[in-house]
Amino acid sequence: MAGAQQPRNGGSSAAAVVDSITGGRGSRAPHHRSWHSEEHTSHRAPRLRAAVLGANDGLLSTSSLLLGVVAASASREVLFATGVAALVSGAGSMAMGEYSSVSSQRDAEAADLAMEAEALAAHPRAELRELTENLKVNGVPDHLAVEVAEALTAHDALAAHAQLELGIQPDDLADPLEAAVASAISFALGAMVPILVVMTLAGDARAPGLVVSALVGLGALGAFGARLGGANMLRAAVRVLLGGAAAMTIAWLVGNLFNVSV
């Protein structure tokens, strides 16, 4: 939490600090997503970043697989079957992995919230002192911290402790099913690109077509993901391109070991 800002006219008050923490809504709002209005870079569009990661994975893994199969001189039918199998299995794997991961995260957060709620019910004074100390650490002046802690406790004690102590937004826990569906769809969209390439192009044009389409897609996704996170777009794109090129090179070399006509 950013340090609470005080009015410049010297008329600092607990109400002003509470407003700066709750986004100016004070006790009028029953729930809130954050204690202040600015959006931190690390919290920006997490779901969209996850979708970019899924598309990136689908594009690279399927391109690398098909490039290896192309190197083995496989027919169009084999390439199509291989690509579809990679899409379905990869999307399913991504969905199950994401569902399991987000479910575990949500369960852990729910357990922390339940524990915090029990502590608030059993030891309200101790929890108030703890909240007061957290406010001081986060920049609230000592002479206002107690009053601010009391105001936040009256407003929504569990939300105050969850956000300041645990970094959890109680009213915005991750949805495992939503995460699973998003991962599966994004992977499938990424995997469709190399499948379309090998079905559209023929013969010797397939390998360079796969490489070019994959590198263009990887570079674009890497730059877009960096933009969402506020990082350097060029550096991120180059990093992803180098990794993608290495993966496809290995796949091509492995495919050449089995250079047979199918």
In tens, the pLDDT along 96-126 reads 999 998 899 889 888 988 998 998 899 988 9
**Nearest one of 191, 193, 257, 176 to 57, comparing CA atoms:** 191
pLDDT at 96: 93
pLDDT at 49: 73
Domain boundaries, the chain: 45-257
Residue given tokens 């809130």 in the structure block: 32
Whole-number Å distance between alpha carbons of 14 and 87: 56
**Nearest one of 60, 58, 42 to 98, comparing CA atoms:** 58
Is the pTM above the cut of 0.85?
A: no
Cβ-contact 164, 153 below 8 angstroms: no
In tens, the pLDDT along 192-243 reads 999 999 999 988 899 999 999 999 999 999 998 888 878 899 999 999 999 9
**Nearest one of 146, 147, 173 to 159, comparing CA atoms:** 173
User: How far from each other are the two terminal CA atoms of the chain, in whole angstroms?
Assistant: 61
For residue 158, the Cα-to-chain-centroid distance in whole angstroms is 25
Alpha helices in 230-259 (DSSP H): 233-257
Residue given tokens 């594009």 in the structure block: 59
